[in-house]
Structure formats: C-alpha cells, structure tokens
Amino acid sequence: MCKKIFLGIIFATILISWPISLIKKPAQIEFGTIFYPITDLEKIDFEKKLALDTSGLKRFFYNKTTIYKERYLKNFLVLTDLNNYFFEMHPREDVAGVDYRLKYPFWTIVFLISAIEITVKNKKYLKIWLIILFEIWFLSFFKRIDGLDFILFIPISWLLILGAINLFKWWK
C-alpha cells in the first residue's frame, strides 16, 4: 500500500509539471517551418565563410542547404537536450523560439537512467524511444517548437514512469 501511494505521488509529480507550465504560461504556437527566407545575419556569416577559403572544398560543406541543415540541427539538438526537460534549459538558455519551462522536476532524471536500463534489457519498450525519435525528427522542421513539443509529453512521461517502477521494484 505504502509503495502504491509513494509511486502514485511520483507519477503525479512526473505528469503535472509540464501541463501546469503550459497553463501558467500558454505557448505561442506557430506552424511556420525552418524553410523561411535566409536572414541578413545568416547571409553575412555564410558569405564570410565562403570568402575565407579559396579552395573548392568550401562548396562541399557550405552550399545552399547548409543554413537549413544548421537550423534543423539546432532544433534537433534542443529537443534532445536533457537540460531542456529537467533544468529549464539551464545553463545555456540561449535558444530563440523556446520558452524555458519546468517540464519535469530535476530529480526525475534518475528515472530516465533507470528507463534506459529497462528499455535496453527489454526490447518491447524500444518502441517508446522510436516514438520519441520520430517526434523529434518531425518537430525539428518547425521554426518555433515551444508548445508543439508537448507531443513528447506522453512518451517521455511513459519512460520516466517505467524508470520509476524499475527503480523501486525491490520494494515489495
């Protein structure tokens, strides 16, 4: 009974923070993608790099697709950042289009480690990671991901709950 109450409190803590942060500070959802016109700043930086190398090598690394690839990669990495979910993006809160929300209490990161252990050992849980990966891949195409990234709430919370159950399985 004690264990059930204890786990119930933990599940509630896992499930409550992100929705509350959205209620307290609603997200400004936009559906624009990363394929917006190249900004002046991006253009200047890009042209400087092109001018600095006179060999043909630069075109291989710096071409028309580069800026879009960089935008995509930036979003992708923000969405895979552990600190985004557990530490409100601290210590580098320098991403445009992301609000620094308390998504999960920082101590629940322990459950993530436990969740990795259980998903590696039990292949049936691998699908949760695949769902997360697919959603991150998809979300990375958006210019502003705040609010839209709430679609990650279910699979990540699911993982954390699994991790919590796994961590306390010794408790009969």
Nearer to other proteins among residue 26 and residue 120 (C-beta): 120
Segment 82 to 111, residues that bind other proteins, using CB under 8 A = 82-84, 86-87, 90-92, 106, 109
CA dist 7 and 168 (Å) reads 8
Residue 104 amino acid letter: Y
Q: Is 121 in the site for other proteins (CB under 8 A)?
A: yes
* Residue matched to tokens 């990161």: 109
Task: From 11-19, 31-39, 112-120, 159-167, give the range in contact with other proteins by CB under 8 A.
Answer: 112-120
Nearer to other proteins among residue 60 and residue 170 (C-beta): 60
Segment 16 to 75, residues that bind other proteins, using CB under 8 A = 48-49, 52-53, 57-58, 60-61, 73-74
* Least distance to other proteins, CB of residue 70, Å: 9
List all residues 6 or more positions away from 63 whose beta carbon is below 8 Å from its beta carbon.
none
Contact of 17 with 104, CB cutoff 8 Å: yes
Nearer to other proteins among residue 23 and residue 52 (C-beta): 52
Nearer to other proteins among residue 10 and residue 78 (C-beta): 78
* Least distance to other proteins, CB of residue 109, Å: 7
Helices 153-167, 2-24: inter-axial angle, 10-degree rounding: 160
CA distances from 41 to 46, 48, 69 (A): 9, 11, 16
Task: Give the 3-state secondary structure of residue 28.
Answer: coil
Closest by alpha carbon to 105, among 40, 11, 171, 169? 11
- Residues engaged in binding other proteins (CB under 8 A): 48-49, 52-53, 57-58, 60-61, 73-74, 77-78, 80-84, 86-87, 90-92, 106, 109, 116-117, 120-121
